[in-house]
Homo-oligomer: A and B are copies of this chain.
């Protein structure tokens, strides 16, 4: 009853010159901290256990505090499908009321959706690490028999069981003397976190707190399935973002959790690579007090505020490394939403813009497509209706030149496309949206959507 008619092919064939554009090298972002900035009282290593098939590739990391009363805090994914290591960490932290001395991390297999075997494997990793940890603690400081004090993180493929014997053997056979606080060992530990990451993500710094110098070091890994939404344990959440931060500051467990929750909301929960939540997302924080400072045991002290803000700034640095190394990313984009009635509204709009496939492909194409920013803004459900005539959109150049208004109070500006092109050609860019509805603001960090993103995720079983 119907006859076929000829039609024109879409003329947007993938052209050679577009494809010639490759992800810029991120090598310069790989740095090893100097020994002075690394927290006291921690020893670490990264080894090849054989989770990853390629010989010599590091896939197992171990981090130990040599102080008996080390505080621990954690934020986990909100995904309904919690991976075994997440469930085990929640259990350990509940048993110990926020104390943990060690963390074991493997890459190459997420131990997620692995049923009872997966849970048993995660517990076996904890037990093996507990045994090693007890050798490192001061005499007489070992926990009671059967009481766990180690935490576990896994990242990699979902739905496959760990090669658990290889992991346990690697831990058991590890010479205690191979654990150390050297920058080289920290770098090896960071490498053991990596999946599709192109560089180990390790940072450290020191700051004054309570009259003492304290040190903080952190490792994290991305780089896909990144759109975390994490809350404090034992609130269940989602993952393929792993973060581990250790400090020689002295902070009591509940206060440490309070600081971490605040910091994660403003760092790891404000980044997006692809808008997908994982089953393993975990950020752990250990504080062992080896700096000799007096313990912070209240959130109302001045020291708490200093610590919380330093931690937030440090966590934001670590989180931004994940975006910079986002799968296929060629741009690093800050999305700042201001003039919102509430912080949550600002965060929602920033998240919507940061995860829009159309905004992200336009950024890749270096196209000043503010219409897509506006469409994403307008499709967000807020606590109050958006008034189109109060909304403004601008690009903020990173070279210090004046801001480029695109839309002012709902009316399009006559945009200098040549200048827009110059701004967009830089690797770093800020998009600013002013809703004109209030005084709250939030920032989000995102990357673009490139051909390479599709290649990586079309080929990689994660």
Chain A residues within 8 Å of B, Cβ to Cβ: 1-10, 12-15, 18-19, 22-23, 25-28, 30-34, 37, 78-82, 110, 112-115, 157-160, 187, 196-200, 224-225, 229, 238, 274-279, 327, 355-358, 361-362, 364-365, 367, 369-372, 374-380, 385-386, 388, 391, 407, 410-412, 449-462
Contact = CB atoms under 8 A, between A and B. Distances in A.
Given A4-B31, A371-B159, A113 B412 contact: yes
Given A81-B375, A276-B356, A369 B452 contact: no
B276 A79 contact: no
Contact of A379 (B8, B23, B238): B238
Given A2-B32, A2-B34, A357-B357, A454 B453 contact: yes
A452 B13 contact: yes
Given A371-B157, A377-B80, A4 B28 contact: yes
Given A375-B278, A388-B81, A461-B367, A5 B30 contact: yes
Given A276-B358, A454-B453, A378 B459 contact: no
A280 B200 CA distance: 45
Nearest 6 A/B pairs, CB to CB: A365-B458, A158-B371, A361-B457, A277-B379, A80-B378, A80-B386
Nearest to A81: B378
Contact of A279 (B187, B374, B461): B374
A197 B7 CA distance: 10
In this complex, the member of A3, A7, A380 whose beta carbon has the largest number of chain B beta carbons within 10 angstroms is: A7
Contacts of A410: 113, 115
B459 A369 contact: no
Nearest to A389: B115
A378 B279 contact: yes
Contacts of A374: 81, 113, 158, 279
A376 B356 CA distance: 16
A377 B275 contact: no
13 contacts: A2-B34, A7-B27, A7-B199, A10-B23, A14-B455, A18-B459, A19-B19, A80-B386, A224-B358, A276-B375, A279-B371, A371-B462, A451-B455
Contacts of A276: 356-358, 372, 375-376, 379
Given A34-B2, A113-B412, A454-B450, A9 B198 contact: yes
Copies of this polypeptide in the complex: 2
Contacts of A369: 461-462
A460 B385 CA distance: 30
B385 A159 contact: no
A378 B227 CA distance: 13
A219 to B, nearest CB: 14
Contacts of A13: 22, 452, 455
B375 A225 contact: yes
A254 B107 CA distance: 59
A350 to B, nearest CB: 16
B449 A454 contact: yes
Given A2-B33, A379-B276, A362 B457 contact: yes
B452 A12 contact: yes
A185 to B, nearest CB: 13
A457 B461 CA distance: 26
Contact of A370 (B3, B34, B159, B278): B159
B377 A81 contact: yes
Contacts of A1: 33-34, 37
A375 B79 contact: yes
B18 A30 contact: no
Contacts of A358: 224-225, 274, 276, 457, 462
A363 B27 CA distance: 31
A13 B453 CA distance: 10
A8 B25 CA distance: 10
